Amino acid sequence: MPSSKSDRPMPPDARQALEQAALLCQQRGARLTELRRRVLEIIWNSPAPLGAYAILDILRDEGRPGAPPTVYRALDFLLEQGLIHRLASLNVFTGCRQPGSHHGGQFLICQECGLVDELSNPRLEELLQNEAAIRQFEVLAQTVEMLGRCPACRNGVARHAG
């Protein structure tokens, strides 16, 4: 058996996310192939959100054949399944903390260490929808991102690199 890609143990939330992803895809009849699963795993194993080309580099380091479309197609699948989010302000991708229900997501993103916190405030969602409804605007996609500094970085802790 080929050894796992890294000898670091996988973070518990990453393992859980992968299990839930497999379950959701099974329920939906969507195919979480080896490549797609590996891309999701890479995203979850990273402390900071990754760009498409950073993911590509990791795949290549593993000896896989790889070109940009390889990664972008996997990302498209994961986005469609609501398993990851794209952070438009940074052109990076992060695992969804509430998969299963497709949603736009609301994010706090630390510019120093890359920490991502996904909110899900119903009042915020409601307020946004209401602003749109007042104007008879039909919302199809939503981007809510706040960039700044996380508590650890404000205190100079600097745990993981961005």
Partner DNA sequence: GTGAAATTGTTATTTTATAACATAACCAGA
Partner DNA sequence: TCTGGTTATGTTATAAAATAACAATTTCAC
Q: Is 133 in the site for DNA (CB under 7 A)?
A: no
Site string for DNA, 75-114 (x = CB under 7 A): --x-------------x-----------------------
| Cα 160 to Cα 144: distance, rounded to the nearest angstrom | 24
Hey, what are 115's tokens? 């920490």
| Cα 162 to Cα 157: distance, rounded to the nearest angstrom | 13
Residue 136 touches which member of DNA, Zn ion, its own copies, none, C-beta under 5-8 Å by kind: its own copies
Secondary structure (H, E, C), 44-82 = HHCCCCECHHHHHHHHHHCCCCCCHHHHHHHHHHHHHCC
Residue 128 touches which member of its own copies, DNA, Zn ion, none, C-beta under 5-8 Å by kind: its own copies
Q: Is 105 in the site for Zn ion (CB under 5 A)?
A: yes
| Cα 110 to Cα 124: distance, rounded to the nearest angstrom | 20
Q: Judge contact between 99 and 20, C-beta under 8 A.
A: yes
| Cα 20 to Cα 154: distance, rounded to the nearest angstrom | 33
Give the N- to C-terminal CA distance of the chain in Å, as an integer: 33
Among 6, 60, 68, 148, binds DNA (CB under 7 A): 68
Residues that bind its own copies (CB under 8 A): 88-89, 106, 108, 110-111, 117, 119, 121, 123-124, 127-128, 131-132, 135-151, 154
Q: Nearest distance from residue 147's CB to DNA, in Å?
A: 14
Residues in the site for Zn ion, rule: CB under 5 A? 96, 98, 105, 110, 112-113, 115, 150, 153
Contacting positions for DNA (CB under 7 A): 30-31, 33-36, 51-54, 64-70, 72-74, 77, 91
